[in-house]
Amino acid sequence: MSTQTDAADPRFAALPHRPGKVVAVHLSYASRADQRGRRPAAPSYFFKPSSSVSASGSTIERPAGTELLAFEGEIALVIGAPARQVSLADAWAHVAWVTAANDFGLYDLRANDKGSNVRSKGGDGFTPIGPALIDARTLEPGALRLRTWVNGTLVQDDTTAGLIFPLAQFVADLSQHFTLEPGDVILTGTPAGSSVVVPGDVVEVEVDDPSSGASSGRLVTTVAEHEGDDYDETLGSLPGVDDAQRIAAWGSREAAGLPAADDTGAVTTLSEALRHKLEAVPVASLSSQLRRRGLNNVAVDGVRALAGSGKFVGTAKTLRFVPNREDLFRSHGGGHNAQKRAFDAVGPGEVIVIEARGEHGAGTLGDVLAIRARVRGAAGIVTDGAVRDHDPVAATGIPVYAAGAHPAVLGRKHVPWDTDLTISCGGATVQPGDIIVGDADGVIVIPPAVAEEVADAALGQEESDGWVVARVAEGHPLDGLFPMNEQWQARYDAERAGKET
């Protein structure tokens, strides 16, 4: 049914009045949790400003210079009676209406919001709601259906039976902490299928009760491009994206147009064929070839292999520590922090690369984390900080390259801060997906775009260097031979051609 509109402001046409609070759930559907690779033990929330609310038929503007505006079809609960410390059994009675919502988010700003979503989801028009409300008293909250269409194609189709937490739990849980007041809105999370939309796209969301036919109607929003500048770099952080945000926004590597994963879990920028090439040549030769291509700052300085650590080749999964500050360690150091998330999420063929600022006064990993990385199939671990449990870490069998050893835990010097972002390790810039190679000479970073070319050139260099070594062993002087002058080069080319024929 429709409700009386707020004639003074058409943005709130579907609601009894302007909501005092809009509370959104981070992750609630099993299908979305499985897509993200993590399932929360309890609900978590963020606030959206009421100024972000808009009505069906409205237009949302993607800010100029951004690319990752994503839709999230959701079921919205509208509170009808004050709720403060209500039980789970009584919570649904405080919900007056149910309707459709779209929790739009701009992933270009998400990394800087750290889960608060203030800027990434608080923009004007980023919370369309409506068009009509369904009387909650007539509904079975466990049997509602949510569907989303983009340009007429169905992209989300799930029911509340797929929720990790029942709808009433959000009401009861939030009421433990503050009073839910009449008109407040709870956005209850989105299922799998959320993705990026671009200017010109039309997104429709509908919530219905298939058993009774009650429906919110289709909530229609059109995407447009905002003209002009949106952000002043002197006032705050600017939009920025990397492949991790693209994957999160689009829903998968493939949807984002990024290289797909191969059978080992490594992206195709490091195919098995390329991996074998890189394993066959020493880091010294790879370093020489990178230098010839103008890449001089690709060595991870100051790290050495732990005893028993052999050569490794893999793609970077990054982890960043910041200097310890007691209040930040209390907020970021406990629980399933960034350090544990990185080791829990590392995939086969990946290398965990840790930014520890060259600080050796505390460990950045120990034996438990090293074992976790080995079990997950990681190719190696590189840290420009220290390890603790040195001997047990070395005994795990996973290649570990570190700047030293120290008995203290990371809280003495470090706060685990974030993962899957561009970092600095041993003076080298490392991005997620960069190719990392280490042997007894050290560790280098290879940009994926040049990796095949560098590997082929390094193989050729190894062949020619081997030929030179043989000539030196025969007693020939170095002058003119190393490096080869025209005469020696001609002799080498002739012998090589003879072998090939």
- Residues 273-300 have pLDDT tens digits of 899 999 989 999 999 999 989 999 999 9
HSE (CB half, 13 Å, CA atoms) of 441?
A: 11
> Could you give the CA distance from residue 172 to residue 168 in angstroms, rounded to a whole number?
6
Q: What pLDDT score does 2 carry? A: 42
Q: What is the pLDDT of residue 267?
A: 47
CB atoms within 10 A of CB 266: 25
> What is the chain's mean pLDDT, rounded?
89
Q: Which domains does the chain have, with CATH numbers?
A: 10-229 (3.90.850.10), 268-449 (3.50.30.40)
Give the pTM: 0.57
DSSP assignments along 353-371, one per residue: EEE-TT--SSBS--HHHHH
> Are the C-beta atoms of residues 404 and 325 closer than 8 Å to each other?
no
CA geometry: angle 37, 39, 41, nearest 5 deg: 155
What percentage of the chain exceeds 70 in pLDDT? 95
Using CA atoms, how far apart are residues 49 and 126, in angstroms rounded to an integer? 10
Helix (H, G, I), strand (E, B) or coil at 111: helix
**Residue 335, CA distances (Å) to 35, 330, 338, 341 in order:** 22, 10, 9, 10
Rounded CA separation 39/164 (Å): 8
SS3 350: strand
Beta strands 350-355 and 380-383 are: parallel
In single-letter form, the type of residue at position 32 comes to R
Q: What is the mean pLDDT of residues 180-187?
A: 97
Backbone angles phi, psi at 187, to 5 degrees: -90, 125
What confidence tens digit (pLDDT) does each residue in 305-334 have?
Answer: 999 888 999 999 999 999 999 988 888 888
pLDDT of 336 higher than 90: no
pLDDT at 496 over 90: no
Q: How many CB atoms lie within 10 A of CB 368?
A: 14
What pLDDT score was predicted for residue 260?
56
The confidence score (pLDDT) of residue 60 equals 96
Q: How many helices (H) and strands (E) does the chain have?
A: 13, 27
Q: What is the pLDDT of residue 304?
A: 94
**Residue range 426-430: mean pLDDT, rounded:** 95
- E strand or H helix that includes residue 88: helix 88-91
User: Looking at residue 270, what is its pLDDT?
Assistant: 81
